[in-house]
Structure 1
Amino acid sequence: MKVVFRADASHQIGSGHVMRCLTLADALTQAGGDCQFICRNHKGHLAEFIRAKGYPCHLLHEDSEHAEMGVPSTQHSTTQHADWLKVTWQLDAVQTGCVLDTVKPDWLVVDHYALDHGWEQALTPYYRKLMVIDDLADRPHHHADVLLDQTLGRKEDEYRSLVSPDTRLLVGADYALLRPEFAKWRAYSLKRREVPELKTILINLGGVDNDNVTGDLLDALTACKLPADCSIVVVMGASAPHLQAVRDKAALMDLDTRVLSGVSNMAELMAHADFAIGAAGSTSWERCCLGLPAVMVVLAQNQQLIANQLSQIGACEVMSADTLNDELPHVLHDLSETTLKSMSEHARAVCTGDGATHVARTLVSLGA
């Protein structure tokens, strides 16, 4: 079964869409699938990372060759995140189609907020079945055979007018695309939280953190009253633009502060952490799987729903990047053993970590 993923990473988009597609690609490969990726050549793309994982990655360039093929240059998408694409959806469809025509996939999987039914329809000659990964429920996907939205509390009714009657809907956090190591570390992580403590704080604001919220966060932590034996672990992407600036700032912290980049053991780091401060993106489900209490920092409007849902069930505290200095000291000051245990118990109930396996089985069952 040949599967092609169309997803982008960039300093604007972040890395989450590509990373969760890689997780699904791993699950499909274990099931006998043959996976490839198509990504646009944005600044901060992850093509080499994808290739290092063993998957071919075709990069789309903004060249003149396809512009001369009569593709409209001004007819841009009306989707809320249209600027993420940096080209018209028509040009992207032509370039993507050229790759698909060679690969001839059984499944095309698209994870991109800038693409909707127009792009999907244009590419129907090049794939047998289509899967859409979404979080927003804000645009139509009438050609999707399967639609996945791993948002906690998402209801099928929110998509019924946006898809065809035959579309298979996989909605809710049970389908969260987590790498297998999170399920592996779950039992250990939950066990050590039976007696909560605050000795290790894990910070991860995504793979890019284009606005250097991590640096602001370290500044805010200097005003927080934390145990003297508390340590801080910061995780950033290897290509994060402010990585060195954060390392320089970490070296000046009173508490022991380590900055790690390009890690491959995120589940282990989360399992050994007592508290996390992280973005309200796809890593939210990783923290929930391991029962890790957290402050979630909303970095973009599309993260607000996830943050609100997890806050409402008591799994985390929520704040914006603009309110860190004012709110973080109060939140950390009020962290008691009872609070930590309650947050952990609510978080662990969200997902168990086997969503990728469920999704892969669905694609296999619907057949090549």
Structure 2
Amino acid sequence: MSRPRPEGLRVAFRADASIEIGTGHVMRCLTLADALIREGATCLFICRAMPGDLRKAIAQRGHATRPLPAAEALPAQDASGPAHAHWLGVTWTQDARETRAAIGPTPVDWLVVDHYALDGRWEEALRPSCRHLMVIDDLADRTHACDLLLDQNTGRRAQDYAAFLPIDTPVLAGPRYALLRPEFAALRAESLTRRRQPRLGRLLVTMGGIDKDNVTERVLDALDACPLPRDLEITVVLGPQAPWRAQVEARAARMCNATHVRVGVADMARLMTDSDLAIGAAGSTSWERCALGLPSIVLVLAENQRSIAESLHQQEASVAVSSGGEAAACIEHHLQDDTLVPFLQRLSRGGAAIADGEGAARVVRGMVQHG
């Protein structure tokens, strides 16, 4: 059988977003789907109905969606399953059955699964519904039965999956495969050029699309207690499903520094390019900041972000802190010691060396090559 060309691929994605899961899994799948569409593929998203899901956003991006029914009750705990099995809301067998039905009788060329709750058992069950199966993972903590695996995290090596994959399964490892929208590569040169002579005029605060624990407000509290330059402007970014939006907007209105809250940002690359420093979660947005050389102070909001934060800190691509208070103290320290310029330059260089914004194109090439 001849290898399918990019313009002939039919690709299905199985990923969820919710208040608990966050938005990162679906968002990076959307980036890959957009890249595939540009090459002539057709894409379908299969997502379970959950509070805080992104089915409307997926449809607005022009992709077909087939929802899985909302879970009626949590399944019994599966002691042999993944650590995040409860994220699924149903048993893996039910999810596999419903996903097969959503795909329909004709197998897709690729099924891409990005879900910590699913492992090799589910993947084997979906084999009749796809010609090839790709897993997007960050954890290297469970077995997989796939044809291609992507882990875009810094410090990740193919060997980390040796115990979890068939011996001949290719692994795309590291931030050179980070799934970023094309505007990040397009603005990279401009962003890096403006950081040669840095200043602190615009501070960006972004704690992920959901921020279920309202870390954003605690960061603003800490910044308001910090002697920041009076002309510093703060921009806060929230996702459309963020549950604490009203509280954050109220806190922003009381800030000493001018503080703007933006919801559902469509031009994040431009916003990051025009910012001088970011305080953000150590999630998938880390690679966006790196590609643009945006100096960053990062907080760990979920356990799967810890290794990212530590690795970026070790490579001087960002500063890892444990609270908004530590983030504010870091800024205050460099303001008082007059070390702000070399501090920002060092973080910018470190970040820019990690990701270049071309990862999605590399992944598409990998899918075609291995398909």
Which band: TM-score by shorter chain?
A: over 0.9
In the TM superposition, what is the alpha-carbon distance from 1:224 to its structure 2 partner?
A: 1.1
Where 1:106 maps in the other structure, the secondary structure is: strand
> Which residue does the alignment assign to 2:366?
362
For the residues of structure 2 that align with 1:207 and 1:267, how far apart are their CA atoms?
A: 15
Where 2:249 maps in the other structure, the secondary structure is: helix
Q: Do the aligned partners of 2:105 and 2:129 also contact (CA within 8 Å) in 1?
A: no
For the residues of structure 1 that align with 2:159 and 2:343, how far apart are their CA atoms?
A: 34
> Which residue does the alignment assign to 1:20?
28
Pick one of 55, 59, 84 that aligns with 2:63: 55
Q: Do the aligned partners of 2:279 and 2:327 also contact (CA within 8 Å) in 1?
A: no
Change (3 A) 1:93 1:193: same
> Which residue does the alignment assign to 1:333?
332
Q: Is the counterpart of residue 269 in structure 1 residue 267 in structure 2? A: no
For the residues of structure 1 that align with 2:314 and 2:62, how far apart are their CA atoms?
A: 40
Write the letter of the residue equivalent to 2:11: V
> Which residue does the alignment assign to 2:146?
144
Partner deviation per Cα, 1:102-155 (whole Å, 9 max, x = no partner): 4521100000001000111111111110000000001011x2100000011111
> Which residue does the alignment assign to 2:225?
223
In the TM superposition, what is the alpha-carbon distance from 1:334 to its structure 2 partner?
A: 2.5
> Which residue does the alignment assign to 2:290?
288
> Which residue does the alignment assign to 1:348?
352
For the residues of structure 2 that align with 1:250 and 1:7, how far apart are their CA atoms?
A: 33
Change (3 A) 1:63 1:213: closer
Pick one of 1, 5, 17 that aligns with 2:13: 5
Pick one of 158, 161, 170 that aligns with 1:159: 161
> Which residue does the alignment assign to 2:4?
none
Change (3 A) 1:192 1:128: same
* Runs of at least 5 residues in structure 1 that lack an aligned partner in the other structure: none
> Which residue does the alignment assign to 1:183?
185
Where 1:128 maps in the other structure, the secondary structure is: strand
Q: Is the counterpart of residue 99 in structure 1 residue 98 in structure 2? A: no
Change (3 A) 1:73 1:219: closer
Where 1:233 maps in the other structure, the secondary structure is: strand
Write the letter of the residue equivalent to 2:301: L
Write the letter of the residue equivalent to 1:35: C
* Runs of at least 5 residues in structure 2 that lack an aligned partner in the other structure: 1-8, 335-339
Where 1:352 maps in the other structure, the secondary structure is: coil
In the TM superposition, what is the alpha-carbon distance from 1:333 to its structure 2 partner?
A: 1.4
> Which residue does the alignment assign to 2:318?
316
For the residues of structure 1 that align with 2:318 and 2:75, how far apart are their CA atoms?
A: 44
Change (3 A) 1:103 1:299: farther
Q: Is the counterpart of residue 45 in structure 1 residue 53 in structure 2? A: yes
Q: Do the aligned partners of 2:88 and 2:117 also contact (CA within 8 Å) in 1?
A: yes
> Which residue does the alignment assign to 2:130?
127
Write the letter of the residue equivalent to 2:107: K
**TM-score (structure 1 length as normaliser):** 0.94
Partner deviation per Cα, 1:60-114 (whole Å, 9 max, x = no partner): 11478xx9xxxx9546362111111111111111100111224521100000001
Q: Do the aligned partners of 2:14 and 2:47 also contact (CA within 8 Å) in 1?
A: yes
For the residues of structure 1 that align with 2:359 and 2:285, how far apart are their CA atoms?
A: 14
In the TM superposition, what is the alpha-carbon distance from 1:249 to its structure 2 partner?
A: 0.8
Between the aligned residues of both structures, percent identity stands at 50
Q: Do the aligned partners of 1:174 and 1:355 also contact (CA within 8 Å) in 2?
A: yes
Aligned length: 357
In the TM superposition, what is the alpha-carbon distance from 1:342 to its structure 2 partner?
A: 0.6
Q: Do the aligned partners of 1:224 and 1:328 also contact (CA within 8 Å) in 2?
A: no
In the TM superposition, what is the alpha-carbon distance from 1:245 to its structure 2 partner?
A: 1.1
For the residues of structure 2 that align with 1:133 and 1:89, how far apart are their CA atoms?
A: 17
**TM-score (structure 2 length as normaliser):** 0.94
Partner deviation per Cα, 1:330-368 (whole Å, 9 max, x = no partner): 20013310111011111100011000001011112333x
> Which residue does the alignment assign to 2:249?
247
> Which residue does the alignment assign to 2:235?
233
Partner deviation per Cα, 1:130-186 (whole Å, 9 max, x = no partner): 000000001011x21000000111111111121112211100110000000000110
Write the letter of the residue equivalent to 1:324: G
Which stretches of structure 1, 4 residues or longer, exceed 6 Å deviation after superposition? none
Change (3 A) 1:181 1:229: same
Q: Do the aligned partners of 1:225 and 1:329 also contact (CA within 8 Å) in 2?
A: no
Partner deviation per Cα, 1:168-225 (whole Å, 9 max, x = no partner): 1100110000000000110110000000100100011001111111111111111111
Q: Do the aligned partners of 2:71 and 2:89 also contact (CA within 8 Å) in 1?
A: no
In the TM superposition, what is the alpha-carbon distance from 1:324 to its structure 2 partner?
A: 2.4
Q: Is the counterpart of residue 305 in structure 1 residue 337 in structure 2? A: no
For the residues of structure 2 that align with 1:329 and 1:203, how far apart are their CA atoms?
A: 12
Q: Is the counterpart of residue 279 in structure 1 residue 281 in structure 2? A: yes
